[in-house]
Amino acid sequence: MARGATAGLLLLLLLAALLASASPAAAAEGRGRRVLRTKHSGAGYHYNHTLAHILVEYASAVYTSDLTSLFAWTCPRCKGHTKGFKVIEVIVDVENCLQAFVGVAPDPRSVIVAFRGTQEHSISNWIEDLFWKQLDVTYPGMPDAMVHHGFYSAYYNTTLRHEILKSIQWAWKTYGKLPINVVGHSMGGALASFCALDLSVKFGSQVVELMTFGQPRIGNPAFAAYFSAQVPRTIRVTHQNDIVPHLPPYYYYLGEWTYHHFAREVWLHVIIDGNLVTRNVTICDGSGEDPTCSRSVYGISVADHLEYYGVTLHADSRGTCQFVMGAANSVYSYVREVDGAIILSIYPQDPYALESM
Ligand SMILES: *[C@@H]1O[C@H](CO)[C@@H](O)[C@H](O)[C@H]1NC(C)=O
Ligand SMILES: *[C@@H]1O[C@H](CO)[C@@H](O)[C@H](O)[C@H]1NC(C)=O
Ligand SMILES: *[C@@H]1O[C@H](CO)[C@@H](O)[C@H](O)[C@H]1NC(C)=O
């Protein structure tokens, strides 16, 4: 216990020191010689506070490890604003420790795609690893756009993408061509971003909205500009001193060789004036790296990472990729195992269906 606390403190001090040398907004903007290319195509899209309160609950529910209650939407986090949600498919990539679901929501009437954040190791190990992520793959079709291979392939090179596309098509066939809300927290936000980009390119920007909570940076400035043009209906929520949106670090002097966030950030924070504490929501500028938003603080808080809008955003038991599956699913559900992934769906997966329950 004491050793854990000491190690945690050392980690935070290390992170604080690195961040101090990496990305303080004041230093960057004070010298301000470099003007980053940014697109403001999202300018006509507005942050909707009510919508954020609803969508954060989906980003929380996807952490549920009891697949039966998640699928039936009876889990403890499957209440509140998400009542009446109909799950179409739950995908658990056991091998890569990923989880996502697709379903149809009553409000906003839309298809929801939600991605879980990391379950691997401890959260502080995962955060520490984020420091050293390289921009090591070129985004297809965009010669200057570079992204992190791990995040990229977690969406593109696993069972997730194929299953999500299939479920969306099934939902559209069954419920009509509803708009799509893609959500995710932490690493789930990184996967949600790649998914939203993929869906926008495939189906058009007008049907896709993205909202992420405490996501890390995923690409360089060229990628961020490309992303904003393709997915203009994007809100990237950050919370107070959450450490993850500060990672991997943004080094303004590295040009295209630095990570750079896309717009539009919405920064949740409190303002303390004497003994008056006010909650404030700042709608940030279209640059992706607004120096007056989360970059105005040294974000070193893990606690702020794990809670958005008062909603818990982590699993009940951390550090495992375990899941629980009962035998009591509805008669309309089908279970399939493919490439190290468990897939529960309300539609038959012929010809591969192993069993229907
Ligand atoms: C915000 O989202 C809520 C929930 O979907 C919706 O009812 C409301 O009409 C939206 N407000 C605006 C201004 O779009
Ligand atoms: C995709 O995944 C396969 C199997 O896990 C791996 O062999 C391959 O190198 C991966 N490709 C990329 C581009 O990540
Ligand atoms: C509070 O939020 C508003 C709306 O986004 C913003 O204009 C204002 O600058 C914020 N105040 C502070 C002190 O951050």
* Average pLDDT for 281-291: 97
Please state, in angstroms and rounded to a whole number, the distance separating the CA atoms of residues 357 and 354: 10
For 247-256, the pLDDT digits (tens) are 999 999 999 9
Over its C-alpha atoms, the chain yields an Rg (Å, rounded) of 20
Q: How far, in Å, is the centroid of ligand 2 from the Cα of 85?
A: 34
Residue whose Cα lies nearest atom 3 of ligand 3: it is 282
Joined together, the tokens standing for residue 3 give: 């050793």
DSSP assignment of 150-209, as one string?
Answer: HHHHHHHTSHHHHHHHHHHHHHHHHH-S--EEEEEETHHHHHHHHHHHHHHHHH-GGGEE
At residue 82, the pLDDT reads 97
Please state, in angstroms and rounded to a whole number, the distance separating the CA atoms of residues 284 and 294: 9
Positive or negative, the CA dihedral 78, 81, 87, 92 is: negative
Predicted model pTM: 0.87
Does ligand 2 come within 6 angstroms of the Cβ of 95? no
Does ligand 2 come within 6 angstroms of the Cβ of 157? yes
Residues with CB under 6 A from ligand 1: 48, 50-51, 54, 107-108
At residue 332, the pLDDT reads 52
Does ligand 3 come within 6 angstroms of the Cβ of 282? yes
Burial of 44 from C-beta contacts in 10 A (0-12 / 13-18 / 19+): exposed
Please state, in angstroms and rounded to a whole number, the distance separating the CA atoms of residues 314 and 210: 20
Query: Could you give the percent of the chain with pLDDT greater than 70?
Result: 82
86-93 and 98-105: which strand pairing? antiparallel
Yes or no: domain 2-356 corresponds to CATH 3.40.190.10: no
Mutate to test the pocket of ligand 2, among 153, 155, 194, 339 (most ligand atoms within 8 A of CB): 153
Using pLDDT thresholds of 50, 70 and 90, give the confidence band for residue 26. very low
Q: Does 4 have pLDDT greater than 80?
A: no
Residue whose Cα lies nearest atom 7 of ligand 2: it is 157
Please state, in angstroms and rounded to a whole number, the distance separating the CA atoms of residues 306 and 198: 27
Mean pLDDT of the chain: 85
* CA of 271, closest atom in ligand 3: 13
Does ligand 3 come within 6 angstroms of the Cβ of 7? no
Select from 187, 180, 178, 179 the least CA-distant residue to 158.
187
Of all ligands present, the nearest one to the C-alpha of 95 is: 2
Burial of 9 from C-beta contacts in 10 A (0-12 / 13-18 / 19+): exposed
* Average pLDDT for 71-93: 95
Q: Does 11 have pLDDT greater than 70?
A: no
Enclosing H/E stretch for 342: strand 341-345
For 170-199, the pLDDT digits (tens) are 999 999 999 999 999 999 999 999 999 999
**For the chain, how far is it from start to end, CA to CA, in angstroms?**
44
